[in-house]
Amino acid sequence: MSKWIESLDKFGAVGSAIAALCCLGFGPLLAVFTAIGAGFLINDKILLPLLVVFLILGGWGILSAARRLGKYQAFWLHLISSVLLIVTIFLYYQKLLVWLALGGIVLAPLWSFFIKRSCEIGGQKKSQKCT
């Protein structure tokens, strides 16, 4: 599998976290974007598609690792957290649920990494399913 597909989960998690924090109006991040001339990114009409793209990229990266290893727990965490994040930011704003979903988005690639690591340490080849 190519290196860029293996790093999609991390790229998607970082991008999703940044987009979600912009949606939440996180002051320091908004100030940085304004200072570097990217203040146009603060608009929700741009942030929603950007957030969805990053969530899909992260999910694709986690799903590719899950298919290879046969362990889908991290993918399900990412999927549930993604749906919860979209719903709580744009439809039903609950600050605690937003932070919980954002934590799940960041935790899912870490969990996937530890699953991959445990399969490699357990003597399994990368092409075989780790059960």
* Spatial contact of 58 and 9, defined as CB atoms under 8 Å apart: yes
Quote the pLDDT of residue 30.
Answer: 82
Question: Global pTM?
Answer: 0.79
List the structure tokens of 12: 């998607």
Question: Is residue 39 pLDDT above 80, yes or no?
Answer: no
CA angle 90, 110, 10 (to 5 degrees): 65
The domain ranges of the chain are 3-121
Query: Given the structure tokens 């950007």, which residue do they identify?
Result: 50
**CA pair distance 47, 26, nearest whole angstrom:** 13
pLDDT single digits (tens) 99-115: 899 899 889 888 888 88
pLDDT single digits (tens) 50-99: 888 888 888 888 888 888 888 899 999 999 999 998 898 878 878 888 88
Give 110-113's long-range contacts (Cβ < 8 A, gap of 24+). Answer: 111/73, 111/74, 111/77, 112/9, 112/61, 112/62, 112/65, 112/66, 112/74, 112/75
**CA pair distance 20, 105, nearest whole angstrom:** 10
